[in-house]
Amino acid sequence: MSEGTLYDKVWEKHKVTELPNGQDQLFVGLHLVHEVTSPQAFAMLEERDLDVAFPDRTYATTDHIAPTEAEKRERPLTDGEAEEMLSALERNTADNGITFFGFESGKQGITHVVAPELGLSQPGMTVACGDSHTATHGAFGSIGVGIGTSQIRDVLATGCIAADKQNVRRIDVEGSLGEGVYAKDIILKIIQELGVDGGVGHVYEYGGSAIEALDMEGRLAVCNMSIEGGARAGYINPDETTYEYLRGREYVPEGDAFEERKAYWESIASDEDADYDDVVTIDADGIDPLVTWGINPGQVIEIGETIPAPESFDARTDREAAEKALEHMEIEPGQSMLGYDVDVAFLGTCTNGRVSDFEEAAKVLEGNTVEEGVRALAVPGSETVREECERRGLDQTFIEAGFQWRRAGCSMCLAMNDDALEGDEVCASSSNRNFVGRQGSKDGRTVLMSPAMVAAAAVEGEVADAREYLDDDRSGTAGGVEEVAD
Amino acid sequence: MSDDQHITDVSGTGVPIPGDDVDTDQILPARFMKEVTFDNMADYLFYDVRRDEDGEFNDHPLNRFDGASIAVVNSNFGCGSSREHAPQAMMRWGVDGVVGESYAEIFRDNCKSLGIPAATADHETVTELQSWIEDNPDGDIHIDVESETVTYGDRTIDVEIDDAMQEALTEGIWDTTALMYSNMSKVESTVDGLPYVESDD
C-alpha cells in the first residue's frame, strides 16, 4: 500500500473509524449538491426523521437541468419536470439551512466550476457530490469522489461516506506542450495509454513537468476526467500555483488566517519519498491535439494519426469495442478524423467551461465565422465565468462568429435540458463523454476535443487542426496533417 | 435472501446483458432522470437499446427474459456517471443480483447501497452462464453470497464478491446511514482535527 502520499494523509485526517465490513467511515469536508441526484436523498432523510448534520459544509447549485437560454430561465420553468426538480432543491436547501446558488445569485453554474472559483474547494479536503466528475476538485490537492444517491443520504445525515481506500498510481506527465495543445489533450493522452478501466482500484496522482506547468483551470480539466480513465479520484499536489489561485477568493480566509490555512495545505502534499502502488510515465512532449474517434473516451487518437483497425488491439474487449465504434461513427480504419463532418459545435461543461477555455476558443474564432449549417453553442460553466468572459468582450467574438452565447449549465454534455443532438448529428464537443446516446440522441455521434479544436471544427464544419488558426508559422511537427485550403 | 437486511443469497431466472463497457447512459438515459423519485425508473431501463426505430420493443434480452432476477453482464459494467438511477432501475425492474466480469466502482458501490450482490467471474465463466440462460430461460440461478458460489443447472461455480460488499450484505449493514450515525461522537473529534471546518466563511 501507498505511504506518505497526499491521499494517505488526507484519508487519515478524515478517517472517523473502521466499519465492521472493513471499509472506513470518512468525513466529507465539502458536500456539493445539485438537483438531479439529491431529491431522493432528502426524501429518504425525511422518512427517517434525520436532520442534515453539517449544513455549513454543504453547498448547492443547479446545473443538469438548467435552461441555458435566458428567456427560458423565467420561473416557473416551461419544462414542468425541470421546474419540479429545481423547486425541490430550493425547498430542501432552505429547509435544511444549506447555501444554494440559484439563478438570481449570479453564482449559479456547474458544481465543479462553481466550487473551485468561489474558493470552496481547497487542498486537503475530502469532497463528495452526487456526480462522477467530482474528481475535478482534486486539482487543488483534495480527494474528490462521485457518489450515488444512497451515499448522498449518508453524507447529509452523518457528514460521512463508507469508503474503501484505493491504491495510488503516480502518473508523471513529462514534457512541454506546443501551441494549441492543452490540458484536455494531456488527459485524453493518459486515457489513450492507460485505458478507460485502467484506473479501476486506483486513485491517480498527476505530477511531472507537464502537469506542474498547468494553471489551475488546466489542472481542473485533467482531474475532471479521472473517472473516464476508471479512477475514482485524481489529484495534483498543491503548490504556489494553487495557493495564488485561492488567494482572495470568496470562501478563502485572508491575512494571517490564509497563512495558517496554507500551512495545512502544504502539510498534506505527498512526501518526496512517498511510496506509490504504481508509477507510470507519460511522454507528453510535443503531442498533437487529440480527438476521439469512437464511443468511449479511450478510443482517441492524436490528430495526425489514423483510425486504428480493431485487429490492432491486443485485448478482445478493445477489439469488440472498436468494431462497435466504427459502426456507430460510420468510419473506417485507416481514415483520418480530419475532415469528419460536424453538425454541432459544443463548448462548455465541467471539463472545459472556464474562462481560459473560452479565451482559447475565441483566439481561433477571431475573424472567422461558423460554417453554414453548423449549430454552435458556447455555454459558460458558471454565471461567474459568463460575466468574466463578457467583461473581456469574449462573448462578442463568439456571437460575431455565429455561436449562440448561452447562460450557465451542463447543457449538451448530457442533454437534460433543451440542448440536445438530433438524429445522427455529429457534435464536436469539449465535454468528457462520447458514449452512445450521451448527448440526447441515441444515434448522435460525439467527437471529444479541446475547446480550440471545437472552435476550429465549427469554422470548417468538420474536424480540423486548431493550430492552423493559432500560429501563422507553426512548426509543422504534426506529421500527416492536411493543410487548410483557404 | 433470509430477511430484509441480511442478504445471504439471491436466486431466480437470469437475463444476459452482453457487452463490455456498458455505460450508465445506456442503462438509464439521462433524459429520464428528470424525476424527483426513483419510482418510475424501471420503465426507462435500457430505454433506447430495447426499442427499434418505431419505438417498439426489439429482441433485447430484457424484452425476452421478463421476470428475471439475476443479470449476467460482461466487463466494466456500469461505467460512466454516478447515477444511482441505473441500479435503481435494474432493481425496480426485478434484478436482485448481478454476475459479471467486472464493474465500474461507483456502480458497484451503488449496488451495495441497495443490497444487490455483484459477483465477478472470468470471461469464459460469464459467457458460459450467459449462453446457458439463452438455452434455459426458465432455469434457476442461485447466488450464494456467503460461499461465493453461483449454482445453475447441475453446476456450481466459484465467483468473487468484494470483501466489503460480502460483509455488508451478510451482516445486514449495507444501509450505512444508521451504522455511521451511531459513530457521530467520533465524527465530532475527527472534525476537531480539521483546520478548515471551523474557521470557514
Contact B173 A438 (CB under 8 A): no
pTM: 0.95
Q: Which amino acid is at A201?
A: G
* B120 touches A: beta carbon within 8 Å: no
Nearest to A160 by CA among B168, B177, B84: B177
Nearest to A468 by CA among A333, A342, A304: A304
A305 and A231 within one domain? no
Starting at the edge strand found earlier in the chain, the sheet holding A202-207 runs: A233-236, A202-207, A167-174, A278-283
A389 and A454 within one domain? yes
Map chain A to HEC letters. CCECCHHHHHHHHHEEEECCCCCEEEECCEEEECCCCCHHHHHHHHHCCCCCCCHHHEEEECCCCCCCCHHHHCCCCCCHHHHHHHHHHHHHHHHCCCEEECHHHCCCECHHHHHHHHCCCCCCCEEEECCHHHHHHHHHCCEEEECCHHHHHHHHHHCEEEECCCEEEEEEEECCCCCCCCHHHHHHHHHHHHCCCCCCCEEEEEECHHHHCCCHHHHHHHHHCCHHHCCCEEEECCCHHHHHHHCCCCCCCCHHHHHHHHHHHHHCCCCCCCECCEEEEEECCCCCCEEECCCCCCCEEECCCECCCHHHCCCHHHHHHHHHHHHHHCCCCCCECCCCECCEEEEEHHHHCCHHHHHHHHHHHCCCCCCCCCEEEEECCEHHHHHHHHHCCHHHHHHHHCCEECCCCCHHHCCCCCCCCCCCCEEEECCCCCCCCCCCCCCCEEEECCHHHHHHHHHHCECCCCHHHHCCCCCCCCCCCCCCCC
| CA–CA dist A45, A47 (Å, integer) | 5
Q: pLDDT category, A264, cuts 50, 70, 90?
A: very high
The CATH number of whichever domain residue A311 belongs to comes to: 3.30.499.10
Cα distances from A356 to residues A193, A351, A370, A433, in angstroms, run 26, 12, 20, 21
Residues lower than pLDDT 50 in chain B: 1-2, 199-201
pLDDT given for residue B3 in this prediction: 66
pLDDT given for residue A480 in this prediction: 41
Q: Which of A11, A49, A197 to mutate to test the interface with B (most CBs of B within 10 A)?
A: A197
Report the residue from A27, A79, A164 with minimal CB separation from B191. Answer: A27
Q: pLDDT category, A240, cuts 50, 70, 90?
A: very high
Count residue pairs from A and B with Cβ separation < 8 A: 219
Mean pLDDT of chain A: 96
The CATH number of whichever domain residue A177 belongs to comes to: 3.40.1060.10
Nearest to A164 by CA among A324, A18, A363, A333: A18
Q: What are phi and psi of A321, to 5 degrees?
A: -65, -35
Contact A147 B37 (CB under 8 A): no
Q: What are phi and psi of B133, to 5 degrees?
A: -65, -40
E-state strands within chain B: 9-17, 70-73, 97-100, 118-120, 140-144, 149-152, 155-158
Chain B residue with minimal CA distance to A150? B113
A235 and A90 within one domain? no
Contact A43 B84 (CB under 8 A): no
pLDDT given for residue B191 in this prediction: 97
CATH number of the B9-173 domain: 3.20.19.10
Do the Cβ atoms of A263 and A389 come closer than 8 Å? no
For chain B, give every domain's residue range.
9-173
Interface predicted TM-score (ipTM) of this complex, two decimals: 0.93
- Tell me which chain B residues have a C-beta less than 8 angstroms from the C-beta of A420: 31
Q: How many Cβ atoms are within 10 Å of A161's Cβ, its own excluded?
A: 24
Helix axes A39-47, A149-158, angle to 10 degrees: 50
Report the residue from B21, B114, B187 with minimal CB separation from A16. Answer: B187
pLDDT given for residue A441 in this prediction: 96
Contact A232 B76 (CB under 8 A): no
Chain B residue with minimal CA distance to A321? B20
Please tell me whether residue B137 adopts helix, strand or coil conformation.
coil
Chain B residue with minimal CA distance to A249? B201
* B90 touches A: beta carbon within 8 Å: no
Render the burial of A325-343: b for 16+ CB within 10 Å, e for the rest.
bbebbebeeeebbbebbbb
Tell me the per-residue pLDDT of A400-422, one tens digit each, with 9 for 90 and over. Answer: 999 999 999 999 999 999 999 99
Domain membership flag for residue A415: yes
- Tell me which chain B residues have a C-beta less than 8 angstroms from the C-beta of A57: 197
Chain B residue with minimal CA distance to A297? B80
Chain A residue with minimal CA distance to B84? A148
> What integer is the mean pLDDT of A91-101?
98
A171 and A78 within one domain? no
Do the Cβ atoms of A365 and A456 come closer than 8 Å? no
Domain of A105 in residue numbering reads as 6-163
> What is the total count of domains within chain A?
3
| CA–CA dist A277, A159 (Å, integer) | 29
Contact A260 B195 (CB under 8 A): yes
Q: pLDDT category, A472, cuts 50, 70, 90?
A: low
Domain membership flag for residue A478: no
Cell 466487463: give the residue. B75
Contact B82 A57 (CB under 8 A): no
A406 and A367 within one domain? yes
Contact A264 B196 (CB under 8 A): yes
A119 and A35 within one domain? yes
Res. A478: pLDDT tops 90: no
Q: Which of B41, B112, B161, B177 to mutate to test the interface with A (most CBs of A within 10 A)?
A: B177
Q: Which of A317, A422, A432, A433 to mutate to test the interface with B (most CBs of B within 10 A)?
A: A317
Domain membership flag for residue A90: yes
Cell 437541468: give the residue. A65
Contact A122 B106 (CB under 8 A): no
Do the Cβ atoms of A243 and A249 come closer than 8 Å? no
Nearest to A102 by CA among A411, A439, A349, A407: A407
Contact B25 A437 (CB under 8 A): yes
- Tell me which chain B residues have a C-beta less than 8 angstroms from the C-beta of A126: none
Q: Look at residues A163, A186, A205 and tell me which one is the last residue of a structural domain.
A: A163
Q: Which amino acid is at A301?
A: I
Show the CA angle centred on residue A184, arms to residues A178 and A189, nearest 5°.
80
A370 and A318 within one domain? yes
pLDDT given for residue B4 in this prediction: 74
Res. A482: pLDDT tops 70: no
A128 and A194 within one domain? no
Res. A485: pLDDT tops 80: no
Show the CA angle centred on residue A123, arms to residues A122 and A128, nearest 5°.
65
* B160 touches A: beta carbon within 8 Å: no
pLDDT given for residue A481 in this prediction: 44
Q: Which amino acid is at A274?
A: A
- Tell me which chain A residues have a C-beta less than 8 angstroms from the C-beta of B197: 29, 57
Contact B80 A433 (CB under 8 A): yes
A178 and A155 within one domain? no
Cell numbers describing residue A386 = 459568463
Domain membership flag for residue A66: yes
DSSP state of B92: H
A312 and A438 within one domain? yes
Q: pLDDT category, A475, cuts 50, 70, 90?
A: very low
A196 and A115 within one domain? no
> What integer is the mean pLDDT of A314-330?
96
A294 and A274 within one domain? no
Q: Which of A11, A38, A435 to mutate to test the interface with B (most CBs of B within 10 A)?
A: A435
Cell numbers describing residue B29 = 438515459
> What integer is the mean pLDDT of A63-69?
98
Contact A16 B186 (CB under 8 A): yes
Domain membership flag for residue A138: yes
Q: pLDDT category, A313, cuts 50, 70, 90?
A: very high
Chain A residue with minimal CA distance to B36? A39
Contact B21 A321 (CB under 8 A): yes
Domain membership flag for residue A143: yes
pLDDT given for residue A473 in this prediction: 46
Chain B residue with minimal CA distance to A159? B187
> What integer is the mean pLDDT of A347-362?
98
Q: Which residues pair with A280 in a beta bridge?
A: A171
Cα distances from A172 to residues A34, A58, A217, A378, in angstroms, run 33, 33, 19, 33
Domain membership flag for residue A441: yes
Domain membership flag for residue A411: yes
| CA–CA dist A446, B193 (Å, integer) | 46
Starting at the edge strand found earlier in the chain, the sheet holding A160-163 runs: A15-18, A24-27, A160-163
